[in-house]
Amino acid sequence: MTWTIARKEILSNLSSYKFFVVFLLTVLLTAASFFIMHRDFMQRTADFQIIRPKPGEPIALLPPNPMAVFAKGLEDAMTRSFEIDAYGITVRAGQSSGNIIYAFFPAPDFLYIVRVVLSLVALLFGFDQVSRERERGTLKLILGSSVSRARVLFGKWLGNFLSLAVPFLLVTHLGTAFLLLDPNVHFSAGRLGRLALILGLSLLYMSFFLTLGILISTLTKRSASSIVVLLFIWTLLVFVIPNLGTLLARQFVSVPSVRALSERRRQTWTREVLLSLKGGDWAGHMRAINDDNDRMEEDYRGKFERLVRLSRDINRVSPAAGFLDAVSEIAGTGIGEESRLKREVVRYKNSIIDKVIANRAISNKSAEYPAFHYVPRSLAEIFAQGALFNMAWLVFFNIISFALAFWAFIRYDVR
């Protein structure tokens, strides 16, 4: 009986204009996202081929990450050029998309389409599942038979979920196949596994909003009331709470500006150079500069990581924030990956400074230095550092929302 109800919902969706409008919107937005982000990746690849360091140059630079097509995240910060010089680390622009629109609006990546657009689409599929049937009088007829309310509710959820999931997976697979036609876009087996995990999380995220729509539909008598309440909740969960959490965290954790740190480094360099000109150990002054820079960097990263942890703890009341955090980390463009990269760059800088001090080759332009090698975090590390908790939290949101929908539906007055 459950599958009969699910099939009825699928056929009802297929025969409605709402489904075709939503399907066309999903196709157009997803296709536009893949096209725009692919162009962005190609631009970054071209930039990387121009500015990639020559052998022996003390420069840390990562190639563009193809997973940024799906979740751009902090790709701009991670693909900058980190040049090791007398001041310590000088950050250059590095690779850029060349699209000024990204300075004013979020990048239209796959993550944004799912987090904002498809969550709203899921609500539109669920907002009238119970209240509409009551208004038409069909719910009384269905529940008047021997079928249980649990089967009716699950059948409705299953039919609408399949109506969402199948077109979504179809369009996403076609878009991914289009990307793989480009020889410059290389997806290893590990990256394909991460993409599969991202798709699974996307379905889980959409499932929550579908279930939330059904829950509100069981708490209201009219479809018009359901959609108004749901739009208010959707705005809170997707936009307000994630931004509010970050603003609140900044009130409790003070992080110095990058500009102030840069000025402090210059002051340290000037002081130690003047002292070295008056006489003294040149190597000692160089180490003093390096140690002072490291202390400032460590203090800054410590405060920044405390800010991130507090912001995440506040934002966890929103499934959209947890979904954003988990997907960006799995894609390798999240805050955790960026912090790991910064620590590796500092370690690379220290090895260069040690070589300079040992050889007194700071002014020797022909000196050669070891190349920078960076190994991204494994999935096990990503899970251990918070992604698994975010995934479990998203599962919890699904379970609790469906349980509440079932509880409300059992008590729903069909009259």
When pLDDT is cut at 50, 70 and 90, the band that residue 258 belongs to is low
Distance between CA atoms of 403 and 378, rounded to whole angstroms?
Answer: 35
| d(C-alpha 207, C-alpha 215), whole Å | 12
247-260 burial by CB neighbour count: b if 16+ within 10 A, else e?
eebeeeeebeeeee
Instruction: Evaluate whether 65 touches 329 at the Cβ level (below 8 Å).
Output: no
d(CA 238, CA 282): 55
Residue 230 or residue 273, greater confidence:
230
Give dist(CA 23, CA 167) in Å, integer: 7
Q: Residue 231 pLDDT > 90, yes or no?
A: yes
Taking the alpha carbons at both ends of the chain, their separation in whole angstroms is 23
- Per-residue pLDDT for 98 more than 60? no
d(CA 35, CA 353): 43
The model's pTM is: 0.89
Say if CB 44 and CB 79 are below 8 A apart: yes
The pLDDT of residue 362 is: 46
Helices (H), 64-148: 75-78, 110-112, 119-126, 131-136, 138-144
208: tokens are: 């929550």
Q: For residues 213 and 227, what is the distance between their CA atoms, to the nearest angstrom?
A: 8
SS3 label, residue 59? strand
Q: Is the pLDDT of residue 296 over 60?
A: yes
Residues 360-378 pLDDT 10s: 644 444 567 888 999 999 9
Rounded to 10°, the helix 119-126/149-180 angle is 150
Q: Determine contact, residues 175/129, Cβ cutoff 8 Å.
A: no
Residues linked to residue 59 through DSSP beta bridges, in sequence order: 83
When pLDDT is cut at 50, 70 and 90, the band that residue 333 belongs to is: very high
Euclidean distance between CA atoms 194 and 197, whole angstroms? 5
Does position 307 have pLDDT exceeding 60, yes or no? Answer: yes
How far is 338 from 322, CA to CA, in rounded Å? 18
Q: Of the segments 147-151, 260-264, 308-312, 400-404, which one has the largest average pLDDT value?
A: 400-404
Predicted confidence at residue 146, as pLDDT, reads: 72
Q: Are 282 and 276 in contact, with CB atoms under 8 Å apart?
A: yes
Which ranges constitute the DSSP H helices of 181-222? Answer: 189-219
How far is the C-alpha of 263 from the C-alpha of 244, rounded, in Å?
Answer: 31
Q: If pLDDT is split at 50, 70 and 90, which confidence band does 323 have? A: very high
Supply the mean pLDDT for the chain: 85
pLDDT at residue 174 tops 60? yes
Q: Quick one: tokens of 198?
A: 């991202």
Percent of the chain with pLDDT over 70: 89
**pLDDT above 70 for 99:** no
SS3 85: strand
Q: What does the block give as tokens for 380?
A: 């096990």
Q: Which one has a higher pLDDT value, 352 or 319?
A: 319
